[in-house]
Amino acid sequence: MRQIIVGGDNEDAYHICDAFLEHAKGTGVPVLFCTTPQEVLTNLSRGGADVVVLSFESAGLTNYELAHRIRDMGEEGNVPLLLSEVDALGDVKAVLGPRVDVFAYPANPGNVLARAKPFLDQAAEEHKAVAARAKKPDPPKPTIAGDR
């Protein structure tokens, strides 16, 4: 399922969500804003996402801890993640994998969107390829002489 999930509990998160809403206009890709980590996990478990942006300040979990929970979800958790730098982070790519990026806090929404753009472009291409394979008819089955 194509969707963009923005999770956060601060003014930056709202501005980031607005930037993604503007970007997604006309694409048919919904942008979901989640105000709690549980809401992020619930929406992600319903069908994955093209990208997940985390900008929580005081949600009981750090963005880093939430990212670990997302990665532990299995297939749904194998999504590109963008984390705000509100807590001390080590080498996030070594721990969370290559499909992760960190943006400065306070955030510049345009910068966050620019960092997400390669992930969004890749997801769009993957969805096009899947749709093209679904439309392609199965090749005719070979016949054996005498089966006519």
**Residue range 11-61, pLDDT digits in tens:** 999 999 999 999 999 899 999 999 999 999 999 999 889 999 999 998 888
Question: Which of 59, 46, 50, 15 lies closest to 33, judged by CA?
Answer: 15
Query: The pTM is what?
Result: 0.85
pLDDT for 15: 97
Number of Cβ within a 10 Å radius of residue 19: 21
pLDDT exceeds 90 at position 8: yes
Q: Which helix (H) or strand (E) holds 66?
A: helix 63-71
Distance CA(19)–CA(70), nearest Å, equals: 23
pLDDT for 89: 63
| Rounded alpha-carbon distances, angstroms, from residue 98 to 50, 82, 95, 117 | 15, 11, 9, 15
Distance CA(137)–CA(100), nearest Å, equals: 37
